[in-house]
Structures are given as C-alpha cells and as structure tokens.
Amino acid sequence: MPAIEGTVGQLYSRSYRAWMLTVLLAMNALNLADRQCMAAVSQAVRLDLRITDAQMGILQGFGFAIFYSLFGLAIARAAEHFSRTRIIAASIGLFGAMVSLCSTAVSFGRLLLFRVGVGVGDAGFGPPVASLIGDHYKVDRRAAAMTVIWLGGPLGAAGGALFGGWMAEHYSWRGAFLTLGFVGLGVSAIAFLSLREPRRGMSDPVAATGKPPATLEVLKFLWSKRSMRHFLIGCGLASAAMQGIGQFFSPFMVRNYHMGSTEAGGLLALVGGIGMASGLSLGGFGVGRAGRSDKRWYAWAPAATLFLAALFFALGFEQPTPSRAVGLLIAAHIALFVYYTPTLAIAQNMVGASMRASSGFLVAAVIGLVGIGLGPTLVGFLSDAYANHSFVLGHYAELCPKGLPRPGAAADIAAACRDASATGLRYALITTAFVAVWGALHYFLASREVRADLDKVYVPRH
C-alpha cells in the first residue's frame, strides 16, 4: 500500500484548508448560536406560550436530541460512502429552514416539531466533519484542527445569547429565529459552491482500501476497547451537565437576580464565550501538546477539570449577587469545556480512515441522547420538583400553574411563586453540576487503558 505522508500539501493548499476551516467554523457558530439563542429567549418563550420548565427542558433536550441522534446514524453511514461536503451543505440548509420556521410556532407542540427539524439538520454536521478533518490532517494535528472549528462555538454562543436576549427584550423572540435561519441558508450555499471532497485516508501512513466496515462492526470494535467505553460514558455525563446548565443559565439570571433578557443574554455571552473559548483551547491545543508525550493526558485533563467545574458551579450558583457569581461561573465553564476536543480526537485516533464518520457519529449520539437529551430535560424536571417543594403557601401547581402566578393573584402569592421558581432552578442547576463529577471518574478510569487501546487495530472478518 502506498505511503501518502506528503499527499495533503500536494492536493490542497494551505489557503484552501484555511478557507475550509473558516466555513466549518461558521457552521458550528450557527449551530451554537441557535442553541444559545434558544437559551436566551427561553423565558420569553415560556411566558408567551405559557409552558413549564419541564416542557422547556423537552424543547431544549429530548425534542432536539432524539432525532439529532437517530438521523446522525444514517448521515454517518452516508458520509462513509458519499460526498461529505455535500452532506454538510445540505444539512446546514435544512437547519436554516427549520430555525426560520421556529419563528411561526404558536404552541408547545408546533415549536417541538420545528425543534426536531433543527436537530435533524444539526445532525449532519458532526460525523461528516470529523471524517473530513481526519483526511485533511495527520493524527497529531487533528485535535488542533477540530479546536479551530469548535472555536466557532464560543463565537456563536456569545452572538446567539446577545442577539437573542436583545431581540426578546426589544422586539420579539420570533425575529431572532427568523434571522438566524436566513443566515444558515446563506452559509449552506457558500459551502455547496466552495468546499471540495478529499480522497479518503490521504493523511494516514497508508492509503485506505476496501469498503467501509458495517456500522455494527465499527461499534463492536470501539466498544471492545475498555478506555473508549469510559470516554463515552464520561463524555455523556459531562455533556449532560454542560447542556443542562447552558440552556437554563439565562432564566437563572433573570429569576434569581431580577435582570432583563438583554442583561442576562450579555452575561451568558460573557461567561459562555470566555469559558468555551478558553476551555476548548486548553483541551485542543494544551492537551494535544501534552498528549504527544503521554496519551493519558487525553483522559487525565478532563478528569481533573470536570471535578473542578462542579465545585465552581456549586459555589457560583449560591452567590447573592451576579458580580460575585460571574468570576466563579467563568472558571466553571472553562473547566467544563476542556473535555470536549480531547474526546473528539480520541474517537478519531482509535479507528482507521474508513471508520471515522461512524466513530464520530458514536460520540455525537452520546452527546445528543445523554448530553443534549438528558441535561436540559433533567434540569427542567428538577426545577419544577424543587420549586414545588420550596413553595410554602399551599399547592404549587394550583396557585402557580406552569410555574407562573395566576392573573390577578395576591401580591404575596405572586411573590412566593416567583421565589419558588427561582429557588427550584438554582437547586436544579447545582444538582446537575455534580453530574460532572461522575463523568470525571470515568475519564480517570479511561486513563488506565488508553495507551494500549490506541495500539489495537481493526482486523476485518473473512
């Protein structure tokens, strides 16, 4: 089999690969802008459609995640056989269309349907991109390349939070979704016209040959590696904490510190933007550099930082003023995001070129079903349960339907409803933060086997 170490530079210029990373960064920014826009406008959506925290959790969690994960499998398999650049462009186009339709929702059911469509479009990004990067970059550069793409996350998160909060307070939450959707359609057209499909395996020591193995074979191979099992479990738990806290951060600020949507969106942009950019950079560039000398750093670093994240979140959410909370919450977000890019890189490095899209799908499915699916849903249900427990003036569901005081309610009842809602959400977020400690344990366990598992190669059955 021919060596192909020099192939990438010969076929694709540095400027083209920089453009490709820029386009993919923009797509990732849009995905995160949508999610953080949803987080920033969630209080306005909740009041407009009169829905509970549990229903908001479903909208931001399982309603998005189930189809995100299910369609991800079909897309990952398609990416093993067909043009990944075309799949990415089509997916971001569907994403843009469905985000635009969210602006027309007049009920929980209709908004849930459109968010499912957003999840389907979003599912076409992760696995094909992971496979694409595996072909454009050698093994020791993949974490850095993925970090560049995922740095679109903090840009999109900050922009989506600021834009969504400002639109919700000054105009309408519907206009925010309409605008984001149109931008998504434009980026889809750019990707379709400018991105080119590389030859598979061109950055590996030997060229890829033969048909890609069946999905079940890929999953069996990955699951046979004990460290990979722990990476996946740890990733899912860390993502559940990350997504749950991120989607309810803005409502927490509004309810507990009595600020408007614009100010809450600004704080979400500040905390999430700094935390995501710093954490992803530490995880991608820092862990990638440390991992050249010892691959166990891909597990050691997430284990340590997830433990610290839970501690900082618990302290931050209990602070009496936002000025005292912000520093702790920024530190918590930085620590929380470190796990992300090392896990993506490990998933690519554990397999050969013909299996990378399926490996990427497996990580995306865990993040989707456990992280995006469980995290916000858990926070929503816990928030309602804690609010009900902390309400002392009677039956919470009767006096505060959907977590809101009845129109014309007495002042003491209305104040008690608001206090219970704020307290319930605070305790729910603290509880969810400690899910990260569970994830830290699994990353530590992964460190014991990761070096040996990276040396195991797939042997096809005949």
Domains of the chain with bracketed CATH: 7-454 (1.20.1250.20)
Residue 189: both structure tokens together: 């057209």
Greater confidence (11 vs 131) lies with 131
Greater confidence (437 vs 355) lies with 437
Spell out a b/e string for 151-182, using b for 16 or more CB atoms within 10 Å of the CB, else e.
Answer: bbbbbbbbbbbbbbbbbbbeeebbbbbbbbbe
Cα–Cα distance, 424 to 386 (Å, whole number): 4
Q: Is the pLDDT of residue 53 over 90?
A: no
Contact 45, 58 (CB under 8 A): no
Mean pLDDT of 244-269: 88
CB atoms within 10 A of CB 270: 17
Cα–Cα distance, 228 to 234 (Å, whole number): 10
Greater confidence (364 vs 237) lies with 237
Q: Is the pLDDT of residue 64 over 90?
A: no
Cα–Cα distance, 92 to 96 (Å, whole number): 6
Contact 4, 202 (CB under 8 A): yes
pLDDT category at 229 given cuts 50, 70, 90 is very high
Q: Which residues contact 50 (CB under 8 A, 6 or more apart)?
A: 402, 404
Cα–Cα distance, 61 to 54 (Å, whole number): 10
Going by C-alpha positions, the residue among 218, 205, 202, 231 that lies closest to residue 299 is: 231
pLDDT category at 200 given cuts 50, 70, 90 is low
pTM, to two decimals: 0.74
Mean pLDDT of 392-413: 85
Going by C-alpha positions, the residue among 416, 370, 375, 368 that lies closest to residue 394 is: 416
For 324-378, write each residue's pLDDT tens digit. 999 999 999 999 999 988 998 888 788 776 676 677 777 877 887 888 788 888 9
Cα–Cα distance, 256 to 254 (Å, whole number): 6
Alpha carbon dihedral 373, 375, 376, 382, in 10-degree steps, equals 120
DSSP summary character for residue 206: B
pLDDT category at 99 given cuts 50, 70, 90 is very high
Q: Is the pLDDT of residue 11 over 70?
A: no
pLDDT at 330: 96
Q: What percent of the chain has pLDDT over 90?
A: 34
Backbone angles phi, psi at 171, to 5 degrees: -130, -95
User: Among 75-84, 120-129, 341-350, which stretch is predicted with the lowest mean pLDDT?
Assistant: 75-84
Cα–Cα distance, 340 to 333 (Å, whole number): 12
Helix, strand, or coil (residue 260): coil
pLDDT at 63: 66
User: Among 97-106, 173-182, 349-358, 449-458, which stretch is predicted with the lowest mean pLDDT?
Assistant: 349-358
Going by C-alpha positions, the residue among 76, 61, 73, 67 that lies closest to residue 94 is: 67
